[in-house]
Structure 1
């Protein structure tokens, strides 16, 4: 009978997590004060033990194979559980918390992130929040730069988004449905209206988030992206779009969920349109979330629920 492979060690899991995060064996070795040959040998030994390639090595560093991405999800789970055991039974301080989130430009994403950080019991943490383009959100989650991505889909973009996610081994999990609203300055003449129509917006500047090289209608962050506008301005960040709303009396279309604390000068007005916006999170198919990611999603649902929005999951 063949010899059974030796067990995976917790140290190897820690090493692997850092290698994946840094995208480099040498950078991970420097971070953990380990000799580079030792780190490289540990990664090769780990691959032998699991019987499959986890890393693709090149002159530019390392990337994860599909199996490596799946393995990383389980490695994070194991190390987090061990840290919780040590905290509970050995009196160790709470472990360093890690989480990356990439999202389209929604204030409720920031609200939930703030609550998560404030509620963290960790003495040390390293969180990241990227408001970015639709393609980059998907790429961040695919490469595990972020554990979670937040974006929207509707009847127009659903098939394209879902196919792309399947091709990358990702899945969309719905969070809530929202009626379309326009975001405008409180000083905009439409701010006193109960509802607005597309005809009301015909002469106003329309602000949209720039999607860079992937500026397809299917990757637009706003619904009704195929409708033409005589005055169109593309921007790259939420602060700029809100400042332009105030300065130019323009609008953008979104969910209607907006933070009075974070964006006090902006209001949401319902838009008459035969559309609904489905907001969800994306992650790797079949890879369990870390407890920190679950905490963030719990905070996200709590924020949204305060607006009376229909939760889906």
Structure 2
């Protein structure tokens, strides 16, 4: 039995295509195609229906995948656990995160981590969209917000407090803000049109009035600095501007709710020395 052929088959199914699996495994596409054909020949039937646009599992393929996927995960976990015991952290870690959080919280930590672990390489994949471990070929993903039930493992690395703030130039021409409800009559800068309801502690939420949906937190911060309205921005992004007076904090008696930050990883990756060293580093630093 060629266990690699089965492992490649599982990865092809998880990634949705031979090309995507080849990229994650860092192998030629022809190698995976050849191994898949050999596996189908050994089993005496097709496992995947192939077309130029998509792959789909045959009935036998669905049955085989369900039978072997947990075995492959356990095999990889055992192998990685053994390697961790006998080798220093090394190799590539692919990390998904949002752009703003990474720039302010993760990137400043990278030089120290890479100095401590010089055989590790890091590939950052930044997006405002929620990244996915398997589909995006990641080892770790850093996620803000409450987590839905998942088979992923996670460790909390911190919290983010959003600060209600505005530039002095905007406040000089606006009405006085007394309660969160007054935001309905102010001009606000939101992240997207769908995120116009701002949450405060004590179950207070307000649908705010807005003129600009900024697209990401960095853009929103720049617009608030330019006097385009009130923003509800993460503390790590505005701390410097609050200290220098470029932004002023508003409604201190109505703090916004805190957002947890977690690092997530799949069980099959849980024992890789490099990935776990980075997780430990984040927990200690943040």
Count residues in correspondence: 260
Output the CA distance in 1 between the equivalents of 2:212 and 2:277: 36
Larger radius of gyration: 2
Report the Cα offset of residue 183 of structure 1. Answer: 4.6
Q: Deviations over 1:144-180 (max 9, x none)?
A: 5433241213xxxxxxx63xx44xx446654444554
Report the Cα offset of residue 61 of structure 1. Answer: 5.4
**Match for residue 60 of structure 2?**
none
**Match for residue 182 of structure 1?**
164
**Match for residue 62 of structure 2?**
none
The answer to whether the 8 A contact 2:269-2:275 is kept is no
Pair 1:279 & 2:260 matched: yes
**Match for residue 143 of structure 2?**
150
Output the CA distance in 1 between the equivalents of 2:70 and 2:127: 23
1:115 pairs with one of 109, 116, 124? 109
Pair 1:242 & 2:221 matched: yes
Output the CA distance in 2 between the equivalents of 1:253 and 1:115: 25
Pair 1:129 & 2:110 matched: no
Q: Deviations over 1:29-55 (max 9, x none)?
A: 58856471x423435778999x9xxx9
**Match for residue 61 of structure 2?**
none
Report the Cα offset of residue 70 of structure 1. Answer: 9.1
- Structure-2 change in CA distance of 1:172 and 1:226 (3 Å): farther
Secondary structure in structure 1 of the residue aligned to 2:224: helix
* Structure-1-length-normalised TM-score: 0.56
Gaps of 5+ in 2: 58-64
2:199 pairs with one of 204, 220, 223? 223
Output the CA distance in 2 between the equivalents of 1:47 and 1:283: 34
- Structure-2 change in CA distance of 1:34 and 1:109 (3 Å): closer
* Structure-2-length-normalised TM-score: 0.60
**Match for residue 294 of structure 1?**
276
- Structure-2 change in CA distance of 1:45 and 1:205 (3 Å): farther
**Match for residue 78 of structure 1?**
79
Considering only aligned residues, what root-mean-square deviation do their CA atoms show, in Å? 5.2
**Match for residue 309 of structure 1?**
none
